[in-house]
Chain A
Amino acid sequence: MPELADRVGEVVEASTTDFVAQCYELYQSPPLGSLVKTTDLPVEQYGVVYHATTASLEPGRRPIARGRDEAAEEDVYRSSPQLLKLLRTEFSAVIVGHRQDGKLYHYLPPRPARIHSFVYQCPPDEVREFGQSFDFLNILIGARLPVSVEELVAAALRQMSQVYEDPRAFLVAAGKELAILLGGEFNRLRAVLGRMR
């Protein structure tokens, strides 16, 4: 079982291609592009974080400015401790693979995650295992997302490269894969490569 310390939130919305999770702690969403997973046994789903928001719990009630008489930003939260309970941080992840019966597949799982599945940040060993194949890049490149795909791909690869002893070699290998995937679209390729360093 994954470590409790890696747990970052719970699924609150799920579809075949992505899921939205709410963070347990305000502002503690995993970084853009990081690899997360749900443990909805027997299938574990892997996702890449592509979007995070922090907003009011109730969609109709927007936060109002409170810091006029405070000296520092932190004082706003200190003088209104209920704020931490009225706001929430959510993040979205695009599903890039799953594990079933101990085997890792770099394509979409058969059905979406259950609501309230726990979401964990993947530990380095698991990231390395996942990064052995670049098939997930194809899903990322083809995804329709509110953020630019080039931005996301670059962020994901940057994040992944950090767990390797030789991050550059990993990035070069990934870059070559991208060069093949984006064979006819050199401008997109250039945009991704430019953001990978």
Chain B
Amino acid sequence: MVQENSQRLGIVVSGSLTRGVEVRLDSSASVEEMAVGRYVTIEGEKRRFFGMITDISLGVTDQRLTVTPPDVSDPFMAEVLSGTSTYGTLHVLPMLTIGGDVASLIEGPQPVKTVPGHFSVVKLASQQDVELVFGSEDERRFYIGTPLDMETRICLDLPELVKRSNGIFGKSGTGKTFLTRILLIGMLQKSAAVNLIFDMHSEYGWAGTSEGGRTVKALKQLFPEKVAVFTLDEENARRRKVSTDFVIKIGYDEIEPEDMALLRQTLNLTELAVEAVYQLARRFGRSWLQSTLELKDAEELPEGLNIHESTLSNLQRGLATIRRLPFLMPQSPDNAVRRILEYLDRGINVVLEFGRYTDITAYILVANLLTRRIHAQYRERMEKAMGEAIAAPHPLVITIEEAHRFLNPGIASQTIFGTIAREMRKYNVTLLVIDQRPSGIDDEVMSQLGTKITCLLDNERDIDSVLSGTSGKSELKSVLSRLESRQQALIFGHAVPMPMVVRTREYGSAASYKEFVSAGEAEVKQQAEKDIEELWE
């Protein structure tokens, strides 16, 4: 079990399970070469521990050294003192144990329930260790990146990942979009789930741009047969030379009072105005929006409706804003929800581009409206599948950006996304939440997210909210706030055995596209071979 080739760092000198262990560095190991977030193994007597460096500090044996420092310009003095009177310590959070006996080898790494003994030897984790813990690429696992300073591939178990709702967080410009793209490709290749992506800035469908202004290919270009691009803005798509599969139009009659409740903040509606919507809808039925806009003043309100003049004008102002959205029309020619479901049922992922309508009103309205109906359909089908012996629908992952607008504490309980985050796992629908202000998301929703992937965050409240409820929170905090601002992410939660820092794999070069696509092809081939074999059985 013992790997001789990995570098010895030091020995365990103290610690506890909750706070992690202190490791005194050997004099041969330089403090400056350590890095928070790196993986180490601790050789206990009976088992090995796998952990992560969460803090690095300096120590002296005699306090007098700090008061009257020695002459370190003398290399002899400096060399003698380093590692003896002055030394470095690492704070290591043990996360997993790898037992020495056969049974535990089969079980794989287990969460830690104890700490290694005094003076256990600590080493940098070797490639084999990392592979043992994070697995290697196979039909379930998708290569997402590498650990810091290592070439081993860290893989995510995607079928496991999509069983829960997940979140991707990070300040703007830290690579959330790239990470999401990689993850979407992974889901598309390795999991049975289909994706519905509400693509606010048209970055996932055909092409996106990198920070440097370079154009990068997106899903449809890489996997044309597995991805359909829907758009709200045909003109924009045509100008960008994106071939779209469907143009979504929404009829006034499709907008329901619940949609208005969500838009209260963005449209600046009063509490009473939202109340009024319900009354109007009850009275006018599906054509309530049209009818309300046609009213000239409160005098024209039908009998029995008790709506104040100012409330009505507030509401009408709000509705007028919605009506100006060009993809809305009195009567929609086609049923967008049915179209989306058709594609999803065929296992084709749908990217809905918003084109020019990047304002939050349009995004909330459309995302919420479509999701609610899709959710209803899924629920119905799932219930049917439970009752009768028919196949359950494909697991569906809905990707939303700017999630704090849907899931903030004020409205999380009302929106469909709040419901999905809380309970829809049972109905095969989960969310992929992308956001830069996780503190704006309702705690209850945050706590339901299975796996969280977070790039650099530097706002204290955001960090707290992402890490809430995680064990080793304060240690992870120091790791999180020291991530590099690009291409690095901390992943923790349901789908990974322990929190891990990854340098995300490359995306955007010709070679990277090839790698993504070829991985998919290999799988198709494998599947085909398997099918043929089964045929002859």
Residues of A within 8 A of B (CB): 168, 171-172, 175-176, 178-180, 183-187, 189-190, 193, 196-197
Contacts and interface: CB of A to CB of B under 8 A. Distances in A.
B85 A187 contact: no
B76 A189 contact: no
Contacts of A178: 80
Contacts of B458: none
A180 B65 CA distance: 14
11 contacts: A168-B76, A171-B76, A172-B80, A176-B83, A179-B80, A179-B85, A185-B62, A186-B62, A187-B64, A190-B70, A197-B76
Nearest to B65: A186
B80 A175 contact: yes
A183 B80 contact: no
Contacts of B310: none
Nearest to A194: B77
A192 to B, nearest CB: 10
Nearest to A180: B84
Nearest to B86: A179
A186 B85 contact: yes
B62 A184 contact: yes
A67 to B, nearest CB: 44
A193 B76 contact: yes
Contacts of A189: 85
B84 A179 contact: yes
Contact of B62 (A168, A176, A183): A183
Interface string B51-87: 0000000000110110010100000110111011100
A197 B61 CA distance: 23
Of the candidates B27, B68, B84, the one having the most CB atoms from chain A within 10 angstroms of its own CB is B84
B64 A186 contact: yes
Interface string B9-35: 000000000000000000100000000
Contact of A196 (B76, B84, B85): B76
B76 A172 contact: yes
Contacts of A180: 84
B80 A193 contact: yes
A127 B76 CA distance: 23
Contacts of A193: 76-77, 80
B28 to A, nearest CB: 11
Contacts of B76: 168, 171-172, 175, 193, 196-197
A168 B78 CA distance: 13
A177 B68 CA distance: 21
Interface of B: 27, 61-62, 64-65, 68, 70, 76-77, 79-81, 83-85
Contacts of B84: 176, 179-180
B277 to A, nearest CB: 76
Contacts of A172: 76, 79-80
A12 B64 CA distance: 44
A179 B27 CA distance: 12
A179 B86 CA distance: 9
Nearest to A171: B76
A179 B64 contact: no
A184 B70 contact: no
B70 A183 contact: no
A193 B27 CA distance: 18
Nearest to A190: B70
Contacts of B80: 172, 175-176, 178-179, 193
Contacts of A168: 76
Contacts of B68: 186
Contacts of B70: 186, 190
Contacts of A184: 61-62
B67 to A, nearest CB: 9
Contacts of A185: 62
Contacts of B85: 179, 183, 186, 189
Contacts of B81: 179
A23 to B, nearest CB: 34
A176 B27 contact: yes
A183 B64 contact: no
Contacts of B77: 193
Contacts of A171: 76
A181 to B, nearest CB: 10
Contacts of B64: 186-187
Contacts of A197: 76
Nearest to B62: A186
A98 to B, nearest CB: 29
Contacts of B65: 186
A171 B79 CA distance: 10
B241 to A, nearest CB: 68
A14 to B, nearest CB: 35
B250 to A, nearest CB: 76
Given A168-B76, A175-B80, A186-B62, 15 more contacts: A171-B76, A172-B79, A172-B80, A176-B27, A176-B84, A179-B84, A180-B84, A183-B61, A183-B85, A186-B64, A186-B65, A186-B70, A193-B76, A193-B80, A197-B76
A184 B76 CA distance: 20
A189 to B, nearest CB: 7
A176 B81 CA distance: 7
B16 to A, nearest CB: 25
A189 B77 CA distance: 10
B169 to A, nearest CB: 46
A197 B64 CA distance: 23
A189 B61 CA distance: 12
A184 B84 CA distance: 11
Contacts of A183: 61-62, 85
Q: Taking each of A186, A187, A189, A196, which has the highest tally of chain B beta carbons within 10 Å of its own beta carbon? A: A186
Contacts of A175: 76, 79-80
A176 B83 CA distance: 8
Nearest to B64: A186
Contacts of A186: 62, 64-65, 68, 70, 85
B129 to A, nearest CB: 30
Contacts of A179: 61, 80-81, 84-85
A185 B60 CA distance: 12
Nearest to B79: A172
A165 B83 CA distance: 24
